[in-house]
Amino acid sequence: MRFRRLGDSELEVSEISLGSWLTYGAGVEREQTAACTRAAFDAGINFFDTANVYGGGAAEAAWGEILADFRRDSYVLATKVFFPMAEGDGGLSRAQIHKQIDASLERLRTDYVDLYQCHRPDPETAIEETMEALTEVCEAGKARELGFSEWTVEQIEAGLEVPGAKSWVSSQPQYNMIWRAPEAELIPFCREHGISQIVWSPLAQGVLTGKYKPGEPPPADSRAASDAMNWAMDRYSSDELLEAVQRLVPIAEEAGLSMATMALAWVLREENVASAIIGASRPEQVHANVEGSGVELSRDVLEAIDEALDGVAVIEPARANFAQEGVKHR
């Protein structure tokens, strides 16, 4: 496992990280969650990403119980705030940020998180209020660093310009061979401002493993076949896209790589990416995915990938689900 620095912070994170979206506390049972977490440590992963809203708090609670068996300084822990946890709350107001960090820490059974991320932007709240509250969280020792997920460049810049506020060190966008939208504006801006990418869905929710075939039902044990975990896969389900992904299979075979390894190596070819978040429901998936760390793809392979996905890859800036544009000031 190789490690990369997270933005301008002192945090060193594994190139492959373990996430808990749609899985732990929701679609995956407690025993499997523990097995996958132990497998991550065994494989050299030190970075674990969750959010308060995953499973309505269940993902944080599961990891709070499991990670208690490991030394706190042996891993980097990240969580998020924005989505409502109860009727009438949500967003990035000062009150919500302070309320939700305390609730997250209680579920996670820890005094602090290493990275506290704004899960989506909140243009209904003044950016000054949000950044001041996040800075207060860090000054109180409840978080070490700050990040965001699926913000526009305008919103990121507004956060950086708040006087006296702690700066961002990370961005968490969707990014993979198919979804290349961050390359247009986000990554260049972040590179200039000491902000690293922690990317979600590097395997396009499993589509880039090649296991989903055009015109065929998904494998019974796959995410696409699970009602608890398949709701966000619409943009990866067209036959045209699945046919393009099948054109990647011989490219991976000729390079001597699995499809998953090639997809992860493709994401990590970008120096601004600090870590690629994987999801896993079985320990063997964890061990298979860590093989993407340290693999360098040749120019010929990269060009072949581009040719195979020509016409289906998203290359223009695109807004994520639940993300809103705009910035509010006091």
Residue positions annotated with a catalytic role = 54
Residue 329: CB atoms within 10 Å? 10
Residue 242: CB atoms within 10 Å? 18
Cα–Cα distance between 109 and 50 in angstroms, integer?
14
Task: Give SS3 for 32.
Answer: helix
Tell me the backbone φ, ψ of residue 116, rounded to 5 degrees.
-115, 120
Cα–Cα distance between 52 and 171 in angstroms, integer?
17
Q: What is the DSSP secondary structure assignment for residue 114, as one 8-state letter?
A: E
CA quadruple 195, 198, 200, 204: dihedral sign: positive
Cα–Cα distance between 238 and 209 in angstroms, integer?
16
Cα–Cα distance between 86 and 267 in angstroms, integer?
35
Q: Which two tokens mark 299?
A: 């120019």
Exposure letters 130-158 (e unless 16+ CB within 10 A, then b) = bbbbbbbbbeeebbbbbbbbbbbeebbeb
Cα–Cα distance between 108 and 295 in angstroms, integer?
33
Q: Which two tokens mark 40?
A: 């991550």
Structural element, H or E, at residue 259: helix 259-268
Report the candidate in 47, 48, 59 with the shortest Cα–Cα distance to residue 21.
59
Whether 297 and 262 have beta carbons less than 8 Å apart is answered as yes
In 102-247, the DSSP E strands lie at: 113-118, 143-148, 168-171, 196-199
